[in-house]
Amino acid sequence: MTSTVIGSIELNEDRLRKDLNIHKSFPLIKEEYDDFSSGTWQNCSLWNASEDKDDTLFQDRSGGIKITEYGKALPYIQELVTTHFCFEHLIMVRTRNLIDGMVIPHRDFVELDKPVEQYYRVFVPLETNENALHSDEEKVFNMRKGEVWHLDAALIHAAANFSSNSRIFLCLDFSFDGPFHPKEIFRNEKEYQPSSIINQLTLSTPDVELEKELPATFATILTDYTFRDVLFLLSKIHFEQQIPIRAGYDWLVEAAHLTGDEKLYEKAQSVRDFLIYNRAFKESLTL
């Protein structure tokens, strides 16, 4: 299922601004997948199973969720969540801020036990700009303020904010035990109003010769020291050109192979496999 708009929320700008000013005081803390983001990447837990604001680990837990210190500090955002969304299947609520950086292509839920179809991720932009982009296996798009999006995190997806302006989204994760209808996430099912009208970017046609030359070109500079830089650079290209979202990884693996360095080649394959194919719960990988 591709990512799409499933509704919208009218926001009170004055009350929202007060909460976002409070949000600015929240510290940056290291989280599980920091290695796969650049720039400023902030992930704040508002509701989770442990009630610990520093608990950012996404996992499927039963027994309900509790509001954290961060959630209590944001009264208007707290009201938005409790007014519009049903808590029965809600397992985590976070704010996510990305500034002048990128979260490279990856798939979520692969480390969890249930079928990926039983997880449902929702984004609501609270503060955004035209340079804040998302992508999945079909398109690159800009989420507009107040839109309620289903982001299919079981597909390969990525995020970027190519500006120094803040981009703060609500992220709500739902977990179901079997088949479900998306309208079940709303407290009022009438708020489920899917729309095909989205702000999708028009991408340029790639230069075929350049695509062929990229791995050989980067092989000349690819070392363990430059590995992360090359990975992030190759991962950016799909935001501008009509290429598969996973192409950057394939180019990286080919470039590593061309270096003749077996350890570098294995590292490139491991990173690709970890991010888009398979990883164990709590498994980490350092770039």
Contact 121, 180 (CB under 8 A): no
Residues 236, 104: Cα–Cα separation, whole Å: 8
pLDDT at res. 1: 67
Quick one: tokens of 24? Answer: 């600015």
At residue 286, the pLDDT reads: 78
Q: Which stretches in the chain have pLDDT values below 50?
A: none
Please report the pLDDT score of residue 60 as a whole number. Answer: 75
CATH superfamily of 208-276: L-proline 3-hydroxylase, C-terminal domain (1.10.1720.10)
In whole angstroms, how far apart are CA 1 and each of 111, 157, 161, 165, 214?
19, 12, 24, 30, 31
In the numeric block, which tokens belong to residue 89? Answer: 């299947």
Question: Which residue spans of the chain are classified as CATH 2.60.120.330?
Answer: 4-200
Say what the pLDDT of residue 279 is.
Answer: 82
**Cα dihedral across residues 100, 156, 68, 143: positive or negative:** positive
Provide CATH 1.10.1720.10 ranges for the chain: 208-276
Q: What is the DSSP letter of 108?
A: S
Closest CA to 31 of 53, 47, 13: 53
Smallest CA-to-CA distance from 1 within 174, 112, 119 is with 119
* Predicted pLDDT at 254: 97
174 beta partners: 90, 120
Tell the CATH topology of 4-200.
Jelly Rolls (2.60.120)
